[in-house]
Structure 1
Amino acid sequence: MYSFINSTRSLKQRLNLFVTSVKELYPDIIGIAVTRMDDHDNLYSVYRSADYGDNFPTFIESISQSPRLSKMRASLEPSIIDNMLCHQSSVKHIHLRLLQSNCISSMACPIYTNGTFIGVLFINAKVKDFFSEKVNYFTTFSILITLLITDDFNNKKAFHSIVKTVLLLSHHKDPETQNHLKRVAEYSRLIGLYLAKKRKCDGDFVDSVYHFSDMHDIGKSLIPEDILYSTDIYTAEQRAIMNQHPELGCQLLSNILTTFKYDNNQELDIILNIIRHHHERYDGKGYPSQLKGTDIPLEARIVTVADVIDALLSHRPYKQPWSIDDVELYLINGSGTLFDPLCIDAILHSLDKIALIQSRYPDIIEEELPV
């Protein structure tokens, strides 16, 4: 049973082994899901057993809106529903989904590290009073799951720290502001959330894109300063040099991470795809690989839209900010040629939130002082 502890396996492989062993002991279990909390108080699935079904969402927005989950976060104590059928008169939509999957009882256990709440373990069973009778066992079960999750969490945290150090070192030459990077991350998150609701991606993917979208231009640190800082229209030769920054960024990050042992290849792929392909066009006329349509990785398609939105809305030495109406028209006109139509639909459904992000992370325009 304890082969799941083997750290050479991925988190999903270890959880699969663990869950299989537990379900052999308790066949009434019909689904197990492990979720993590993002920086915006939302839960997203990092693991779902094969029998969990599609009725349970992969993303739960703002757990503060759930009394059950809010109480759990505050107390760090498990929450048990002995009989889902008793809740039908006032049942929430999510409970109806569980009932449709033959779930009769449910247990939610907090996942936390060093006293900090980081997620929830959900376990469902097809008989009533299942967890109350075995609360000690499943509390221990949740602790073991917590060890696996926190190990993965700490590994990711170390990886993120290295990545952000790379960003900090590279950004000192980039004329764009830190708040530009924050806004691009927030716009990327808006797009990702919309796509997750449309089941085009999951919450784990959205969180990765949110954390790594600000790395898209790290290759600019290797561009000569006379080109990087220029406010003139580029010559063909200068443009060719500037267009090398996606590949240069991938080389920079790959070289730095060569000696860092990190087994989450999915995250590595996401960050490298963002860096390499955020200047591709949906019609195949972008660079560096001239990828077309859905051949462009989804994470790159998302960041492309987010980056363009912020560039248009921001002040630059060579232009004034566009109005939100002009940006909206540009995005609509570019849908299907410059941009992924789904990503454009996503941002058009979130236009009211763009102004809030701009106000939260404003650029500070340095004015020339009189001599």
Structure 2
Amino acid sequence: MHQPPPEVDTLSPIDNINTRLVDSFVQRSLPDILAPLQATLTLRMTHPCRLALLWLDAQKTRIASRIDANGHEPISAENTPCRIDESVTLRECLAQDRPARQPDLKDPVIAWLTSDTCLPLVCLPLRRGKSPLGFLVIMHRASHPLNEATENELMTWLPMAASLVVREIDAIFGLFGAVRFARDFTLMRDTETGQHQLRLGGYAGLLAERLQSAHGLGDRFAPEIALYAPLHDIGKIGIPDEILLKPGSFDASERETMQAHVTKGSALIDRLIDDFGLTENPRIDTLRSIVAFHHEYLDGSGYPEGRMGDDIPLATRIITVSDIFDALTNVRAYKKPWSIDEAFDQLRKMAGKQLDKECVDAFVSERKQLTSLWNHYAAHGV
């Protein structure tokens, strides 16, 4: 069963800071952050078991997820002692802002973490500035307790590991902040373009979720696409109003100017990457490809490079299908909105030619949710 796509803030699109989206994005990135740290720990310790991270909810009152190098597991409050006030260990960790060594196995949260083979050895609070993020927990094999020297070495190493985790989380928040800034700037420049971008994030996120498992991309792919999708048309802020808002069709010169929004957008993204220090961020290539290739078609008839087939990344193919659907079903200065039936028929006609057939089929298969999402945006004026 698919999760619903990220919701649109019902107050004002310009103030839409979707904390759930960035929180989901961070959680799904953490396994890749923990994996190299766990590998280092394995080399240093004689009998380590694993690193785990207990991620707090937005209210900072309970554990929302348990995360390790293998993935993340949302926690159900119904069957799990996950409230901070249920755990003396976690309360003291936060209050004193220091590690808890050999936590009490009678503590309900610690008991929940404990298994027949692994015992919690130390629990360390993670903070971003003054805000608590969660707890980094090191587990060890119950049958191989650490000697005092090894445990002391671990306590020296642990704060550095926590700092590395927080630094990586800061980088993700920095990326989100840069994307949000660019998105909101576009909303101010042109309301329709901005609203189109917000809608596209919902459609593309839903389609990406439908496809990520089939392509072995992991569960952070969909939040990443939903985050980046609103920036696909950022280059339109560089198009003159008399062309961007023109009713009716373009002449050849105007069409060429309008198509330049792709190269202008790519240049803006490169500037954003440099200005926000995102050059080394491994997640930035997807954003680049979405902005640079979202008007490329599989048969080579698109622009600006005339790319074909697999030279167009999956993320971009997802954006293109979602983009066309939204453009067809909403009013433009040069056209009336098509019905949803007409839009789906057009996507089917383009499938296997200009558009990726797998993406179109998946999009059509989600018709019920897409229609519900479309109605939600229409009801909130987005």
Letter in 1 for 2:82: K
Q: What is the aligned counterpart of 2:326 among 299, 305, 310?
A: 310
Instruction: Give the root-mean-square deviation of aligned CA atoms.
Output: 4.3
Tell which deviates more after alignment, 220-229 or 75-84: 75-84
**Residue matched to 1:193:** 209
- Aligned positions of 1:198-277 closer than 5 A: 198-277=214-293
8 Å Cα contact 2:52/2:137 also seen in 1: yes
Offset from partner CA, 1:282-324 (integer Å, 9 cap, x none)? 2221111111122112221111112112112223343333333
- 1:326 corresponds in structure 2 to 342
List runs of 5+ in structure 1 lacking aligned partners.
Answer: 1-10, 53-57, 85-103, 367-371
Residues in 2 aligned to 1:329 and 1:38: alpha-carbon distance in whole angstroms: 42
Q: Where does structure 2 lack aligned partners over 5 or more consecutive residues?
A: 1-29, 91-108
Q: CA contact under 8 A between 1:111 and 1:142: conserved in structure 2?
A: no
Deviates more, 1:325-334 or 1:274-283: 325-334
Q: Is the 8 A contact 1:184 1:213 kept in 2?
A: yes
Q: 2:40 aligns with which of 21, 41, 49?
A: 21
Q: Give the counterpart letter for 1:19 in structure 2.
A: Q
With over 3 angstroms needed to count, the CA separation of the structure-2 counterparts of 1:73 and 1:219, relative to structure 1, is: farther
- The question of whether the paired residues in 2 share the 8 Å contact of 1:35 and 1:120 is answered with yes
The TM-score with structure 1 as length reference comes to: 0.69
Contact 2:266 2:291 in 1 (8 A): yes
Match of 1:90 in 2: none
CA distance in 1, matches of 2:260, 2:274: 21
Contact 1:82 1:128 in 2 (8 A): no
Deviation at 1:247, TM superposition (A): 0.7
For 2:374 and 2:158, how far apart are their aligned partners in 1? Answer: 40
Deviations 1:119-150 (A, max 9, x none): 7879888x67889xx9x999999876554333
Indicate the SS of the match to 2:220: helix
**Paired residues, what number?**
321
Tell whether the 8 Å contact from 1:190 to 1:346 is kept in structure 2 after alignment: no
Contact 1:181/1:214 (8 A) holds in 2: yes
Structure 1 match to 2:82: 71
| 1:356 match | 372
Conserved? CA contact 1:35–1:44, under 8 Å: yes
2:177 alignment partner, SS class: helix
Counterparts of residues 92-131 of structure 1 (less than 5 Å) = 113=128
Label 1:333 to 1:36 Cα distance change in 2 as closer, same or farther (>3 A).
farther
Q: Deviations over 1:321-358 (max 9, x none)?
A: 33332222222222221222232233223222113322
TM-superposed deviation, 1:168: 2.8
| One-letter amino acid of the structure 1 residue matched with residue 211 of structure 2 | L
Contact kept in structure 1, 2:183 and 2:194, CA below 8 Å: no
TM-score (norm 2): 0.67
Structure 1 residues 240 and 354 mapped into 2: Cα distance closer, same or farther (>3 Å)?
same
**182-191 or 265-274, which moves further after superposition?**
265-274
In structure 2, relative to structure 1, the CA distance for the partners of 1:241 and 1:333 (3 Å cut) is same
How far did residue 216 of structure 1 move? 0.7
Cα distance, 1:173 vs structure 2: 3.3
Aligned sequence identity (%): 24
CA apart distance, 1:191? 1.4
* Structure 1 residue 186 displacement after superposition: 1.1
Question: Matches of 2:128 and 2:235 in 1, distance apart?
Answer: 35
